[in-house]
Amino acid sequence: VEASIPEPQREAWKKFQAKGFTNKEEFEREVVRHVETTLARSMFNCDETAAYAAASLALRDRLITQWNRTQQRQTFADGKRVYYLSLEFLMGRALDNAMLNIGAKDIAKDGLADLGFRIEDIISQEHDAALGNGGLGRLAACFLDSMASLNIPAWGYGLRYRYGIFKQEIVDGYQVEVPDYWLDFNPWEFPRHDIVVDIQFYGNVRKYQNEQGKNVITWDGGEVVQAVAYDVPIPGYDTVSTNNMRLWSSKAASGEFDFQKFNSGDYESSVADQQRAETISAVLYPNDNLDRGKELRLKQQYFWVAASLYDIVRRFKKSKRAWVEFSDQVAIQLNDTHPTLAIVELQRILIDLEGLEWDEAWSIVTKTFGYTNHTVLPEALEKWSVPLFQNLLPRHLQIIYDINLYFLQTVERKFPKERELLGRVSIIEESQPKMIRMAYLAIVGSHKVNGVAELHSDLIKTTIFKDFVRIFGPDNFTNVTNGITPRRWLHQANPRLSELIASKTGGLDFLKDLNILNELEKFVDDKEFKKEWAEIKYANKVRLAKHIKTTTGVTVNPSALFDIQVKRIHEYKRQQMNIFGVIHRYLTIKAMTPEERKKLAPRVSIFGGKAAPGYWMAKTIIHLINQVGSVVNNDKDVGDLLKVIFLEDYNVSKAEIIVPASDISEHISTAGTEASGTSNMKFVLNGGLIIGTCDGANIEITREIGENNIFLFGNLAEDVEDLRHAHTYGAHNLDPDLAKVFDAIKANTFGDAGSFGALVSAIEDHGDYYLVSDDFHSYIQTQALVDEAYKDQDEWVSKTILSVSRMGFFSSDRCINEYAETIWNVEPLVPEPQERNG
């Protein structure tokens, strides 16, 4: 049905087009209107939650106006769009970000003050949108911010989980998981009840010849579930471009409600189908870097991918172009292997539904997709069992077999003498049961594969994917080092630092061109500037100290060295090494003379992060940290010299308080295991130094900021394999300092040693896979260098200024520009000046 308003009536529409507020009075009017009409409250019952709701709705109205125009502009321009498919978007809070990006924060601040509210209190009412586990999901969120800010026509496609990552509570030192129901009130999403896609599961495939004698393949029967679109506007910084994040929610297909059963009194089972359908988008899987192969997870993946592709194909077909032009109009990026089924689904649409020949279709598919790999950890590489897959997606399995057959034929032609190669690169693993290797499928179906930092991109080419480099040639593999958005991670999280930088670099342009930070280098010896710089760091530490006090009850001294490690808890990230180091420090302090103690810089060791609910070892690490904390923090003899804090429920909005407060932060993964890391970039950008291994983006950070400004230690990636081999077949000598730490643990210094037995024996008896013992000495020595360096505050501040000034490279804008040029081949679509002026 034609939904467009006819030309003669459009004048009336134009006259009454929504604008949203443009000044303080209009903002206040909009807030009051939303309080009184949308929320049905008044000045007599408007609490902070209601004020948050109304302020957000006022902001949203403005965003939606921009969003509509942006989408119309993109539709008219009819150029190429990027679709970023990610099962995780770790967005955090939206209100502050929206105000800052559209330049309305001052208006909102003054307007809210007029109405009786402090803007900080209103901002803190918002519940984080925590639809992600960690780095991968937060990267997707930074990318959305950059794509909008760079005016790149781009959509994010994801799932609208009813429950995001669980909320973490610490009870008696143990992690307890509590569901995170975040949708009570979410003013940032628009339900699109008119955009509904039927998604099919199970069923049967039939092959037959139709009346014209053509082979036809159909997939029928099974179960149908509906995907409903929810749109979230993504405002760019200092531009009216507002992109879209479309999240799919599942519900039972209409008519599925079983009236037969209902009428016969079996109410419960009549709603069972409905519940089954809604389960698909109910919960985010809380595992990072671990594949568990659960059917519901595969259902989530297909549900989301099929709905997104339906939408993308529908949009393409509106332009009435020939199919060969598809990849000129559409670039799809696969964030990890989670959306790999999109490759199969597009091939299915083209051959089964649109009647294209296999080769023609396949060439369109491979030109459309790009695949980003985020890990080389074997336990994280996705595989699906063939029987499970066969049952859920029978037609897709056939297509995968065909993709594999044609692929292996080309390999055979190219390397006829290498029989073993075929088995190695086959998309189907000949195991019991057979497994589908999703990463291989992603590589075969994409025109570009990228890693997320230089070392990682080299490693995938020389280890897990090396056969594919020979087959497809090195040009199909590239690197795009990760980045972070300076809008949230500097301007929003650290407003005073941002202001100081602006005052020295001629305004806020550095938020759009982060290389402008270079100009700070000339202030490295400017006394006044350094004083202000140091004051800001101190104020940020005071802010965190307050947060620590209110959440844990522990008083920490803001003048102490704040040493922070916040990220998912995982053995490869080695929080265990950190806490062993803390124990070593504690034992050392206990043995010190009063004179020696005077020379030591007091330290606060701060940890935060969630453990996957089924990851016992990670949970044990959390327990140990809390036990050490309760001993150390109550040891009067040690006092301020050492405090150990575990911050509960680490998330994006807490990171915004934590990151600006670090003196040193820890990025200490076993070399070759952390693909990039992105919090390392955030900490340095906020004037903290880092202690780290030669891993992931630490290496490029070192190159940019200079070796003198980072504390590197530990074995190199190239030596890891030999060391592991030696552990298995040679003598494994425990580091003597670590042995002392273990003795203290075994002596029940931190409670029942039995609780920590697994942690200790992983190193003592089970091969020390993550090389904690091998790196411990160099870790401890390097921590001593940190202590020394911190004593010279003047020099320390200089190091942080130099570092910040050299961080321009790590903007996600640089990163998105690289994707746009080298993978997507897409151009920005800059709004006309008149649109910019409202």
Q: Which residues bind ligand GFP (CB under 6 A)?
A: 68, 71-72, 75, 133-136, 139, 288-289, 315, 318, 374-375, 452, 482, 568, 674-678, 696
Identify which of residues 653 and 805 has a Cβ nearer to ligand GFP in the complex.
653
Identify which of residues 487 and 568 has a Cβ nearer to ligand GFP in the complex.
568
Of the listed 246, 374, 491, 643, which one is catalytic? 374
Q: How far is it, in rounded angstroms, from Cα 810 to Cα 808?
A: 5
Q: What letter would DSSP give residue 256?
A: -
* Shortest reach from residue 715's CB to ligand GFP, in Å: 18
Identify which of residues 56 and 698 has a Cβ nearer to ligand GFP in the complex.
698
Q: Is the dihedral of CA 176, 182, 184, 185 positive or negative?
A: positive
Of the listed 682, 727, 799, 806, which one is catalytic? 682
Of the listed 81, 138, 338, 568, which one is catalytic? 568
* Shortest reach from residue 586's CB to ligand GFP, in Å: 29
Q: Which residue has the tokens 């010896």?
A: 525
Q: How far is it, in rounded angstroms, from Cα 272 to Cα 249?
A: 17
Judge if the upstream peptide bond of residue 602 is cis by omega within 30 degrees of 0.
Answer: no
Two structure tokens written together for 510: 């550095």
Q: Which residue has the tokens 């190219």?
A: 414
Contacts of 813 (CB under 8 A, 6+ apart): 146, 149, 150, 483, 485, 512, 513, 514
CB 768 within 8 A of CB 774: yes
Give how far Cα 557 sits from Cα of 319, 441, 531, 662, Å.
Answer: 63, 53, 20, 13
Q: What letter would DSSP give residue 374?
A: -
**In 689-756, alpha helices (H):** 698-705, 717-729, 736-746
Of the listed 239, 340, 678, 782, which one is catalytic? 678
* Shortest reach from residue 35's CB to ligand GFP, in Å: 28
DSSP output for 586-654: HHHHHT--HHHHHHSPPEEEEEE-PPPTT-HHHHHHHHHHHHHHHHHTT-TTTGGGEEEEEESS--HHH
* Shortest reach from residue 513's CB to ligand GFP, in Å: 23
Using alpha carbons only, what angle is made at residue 452 by residues 447 and 454, rounded to the nearest 5 degrees? 100
Q: What letter would DSSP give residue 491?
A: I
Identify which of residues 242 and 552 has a Cβ nearer to ligand GFP in the complex.
242
- Annotation says 299 is catalytic: no
Using alpha carbons only, what angle is made at residue 59 by residues 120 and 187, rounded to the nearest 5 degrees? 85
Give the β-pairing of 369-372 and 711-713. Answer: unpaired
Identify which of residues 329 and 559 has a Cβ nearer to ligand GFP in the complex.
329
Q: How far is it, in rounded angstroms, from Cα 793 to Cα 795?
A: 5
Identify which of residues 411 and 675 has a Cβ nearer to ligand GFP in the complex.
675
Give how far Cα 259 sits from Cα of 250, 264, 267, 270, 274, Å.
Answer: 21, 8, 9, 7, 12
Q: How far is it, in rounded angstroms, from Cα 713 to Cα 703?
A: 15
CB 156 within 8 A of CB 234: yes
Identify which of residues 139 and 641 has a Cβ nearer to ligand GFP in the complex.
139
Of the listed 338, 448, 573, 654, which one is catalytic? 573
- Annotation says 678 is catalytic: yes
Identify which of residues 315 and 740 has a Cβ nearer to ligand GFP in the complex.
315
Minimal CA–CA distance to 811: which of 688, 682, 660?
A: 682
Identify which of residues 93 and 568 has a Cβ nearer to ligand GFP in the complex.
568
* Shortest reach from residue 23's CB to ligand GFP, in Å: 27
Q: How far is it, in rounded angstroms, from Cα 796 to Cα 509?
A: 27
Identify which of residues 532 and 695 has a Cβ nearer to ligand GFP in the complex.
695
Minimal CA–CA distance to 381: which of 290, 459, 262, 449?
A: 290
* Shortest reach from residue 73's CB to ligand GFP, in Å: 9
* Shortest reach from residue 39's CB to ligand GFP, in Å: 26
* Shortest reach from residue 356's CB to ligand GFP, in Å: 22
Helical (H) or strand (E) element with 582: helix 575-590
Residue nearest to ligand GFP (CB): 135
- Annotation says 567 is catalytic: yes
* Shortest reach from residue 229's CB to ligand GFP, in Å: 8
Identify which of residues 318 and 836 has a Cβ nearer to ligand GFP in the complex.
318
* Shortest reach from residue 437's CB to ligand GFP, in Å: 19
Pseudo-torsion of CA 417, 420, 426, 430, nearest 10°?
Answer: 140
Of the listed 567, 585, 643, 727, which one is catalytic? 567
* Shortest reach from residue 710's CB to ligand GFP, in Å: 17
Beta bridge partners of 234: 243
Q: What letter would DSSP give residue 10?
A: H
Give how far Cα 401 sits from Cα of 230, 389, 407, 436, 497, Å.
Answer: 34, 12, 10, 10, 56
Identify which of residues 58 and 459 has a Cβ nearer to ligand GFP in the complex.
459
Contacts of 806 (CB under 8 A, 6+ apart): 517, 518, 521, 704, 705, 706
Q: Determine the angle formed by the axes of helices 736-746 and 575-590, rounding to 10 degrees.
A: 80
Pseudo-torsion of CA 352, 357, 363, 364, nearest 10°?
Answer: -50
CB 621 within 8 A of CB 632: no
- Annotation says 573 is catalytic: yes
526-530: list long-range contacts, CB under 8 Å, 24+ apart. Answer: 529/500, 529/504, 529/801, 530/794, 530/797, 530/798, 530/801
Give the β-pairing of 369-372 and 330-335. Answer: parallel
* Shortest reach from residue 141's CB to ligand GFP, in Å: 11
* Shortest reach from residue 618's CB to ligand GFP, in Å: 13
List the catalytic residues. Answer: 374, 567-568, 573, 678, 682
